[in-house]
Amino acid sequence: MRLTFLGTGGVWAAPVHGCPCSACDAARTDPSRARAPASALLEVAGLRLLIDAGRTDLPDRFPPGSLDGVLLTHFHADHCLGLTLMRWSLAEPLPVWCPHDPRGYDDLTKHQGRLRFQTCAAGDAFCIGPVTVTPVTLIHSRPTLGWVIEHGAERIAYLSDTRGLPEQTFAVLEAAPLDLVVLDCAYPPGSPDPRGHNDLDEANAILARLAPKQARLTHLNHDLDQYLAASGVACRTARDHEVVEVAEQGF
Ligand SMILES: [Zn+2]
Ligand SMILES: [Zn+2]
Ligand SMILES: [Zn+2]
């Protein structure tokens, strides 16, 4: 499997419009330090699956025939705004696996265009070709699913947006070793009002319990980037355009 981060930012990711902080200034002068809405492209077994779709350049990035589906964690704008632009197309229908959320996002589920929404329930695993996907419940301000994705002996989990994890989700995650965990971490330690996202201490505690072979933090806000730069604390934050390879162990 190969996971390419298309975005690693929260809704307050650097550069925040009008913010004079050092992280936002750095992101304005060095585009490699800017963060787009959190999303990733998973390539596995010849399939190309988009995880979340908040970017607004998706139609340009993914011409007809270049995507096999979208795993949508939830219907907040920073995760699904790009779908509003991808739906009006003459290209082939595009499956979108998503949680049951009657509110959805604006008119997205009413006027679907080429999108084919398929509602998923936590624990009900399904297959996309040879790939098994198990949705897991996350803890957020509206219905949100994480995705555990398995192919052969390779197993990864994408867990955003969430603050903490329910025990039933830990049970699924801990049922077998994890090669990679991608986890929501929006705030510096001790943030007073985390509002549905992990702070750094909470994210590190989850990673310590899951003990994956590799881990990346995503959905970072500018104040976390500022904290990390000022403190020098090392942690496993992802960067936009970073590629993580997960390879089955050889003999
Ligand atoms: Zn800032
Ligand atoms: Zn959200
Ligand atoms: Zn979000």
**How many angstroms separate the most distant Cα atoms in the chain?**
54
Distance CA 82, CA 94 (A): 13
Distance from residue 220's CA to the centre of ligand 1 (Å)? 12
Q: What percent of the chain has pLDDT over 70?
A: 98
Distance from residue 56's CA to the centre of ligand 3 (Å)? 15
CATH class as words, domain 2-238: alpha beta
For residue 251, what pLDDT is reported? 41
pLDDT digits 0-9 by tens, 140-165: 999 999 999 999 999 999 999 999 99
The mean pLDDT of 112-135, rounded to a whole number, is 98
Both tokens assigned to 70: 């979208």
For residue 159, what pLDDT is reported? 98
Distance from residue 68's CA to the centre of ligand 1 (Å)? 36
Q: Where in the chain are the domains?
A: 2-238
For residue 234, what pLDDT is reported? 87
For residue 47, what pLDDT is reported? 98
Residue 249 binned pLDDT confidence (cut-offs 50, 70, 90): low
Query: CA 202, 14, 158, 187: dihedral to nearest 10 degrees?
Result: 10
In this structure, which residues have their CB less than 5 angstroms from ion ligand 2?
76, 161
pLDDT digits 0-9 by tens, 159-199: 999 999 999 999 999 999 999 999 999 999 998 876 799 99
Distances in Å between the Cα of 201 and the Cα atoms of 169, 186, 206, 236 are 19, 11, 9, 12
Distance from residue 147's CA to the centre of ligand 3 (Å)? 15
For residue 95, what pLDDT is reported? 98
Half-sphere exposure of 75 (CA within 13 A, CB side): 19
The mean pLDDT of 56-85, rounded to a whole number, is 97
For residue 250, what pLDDT is reported? 46
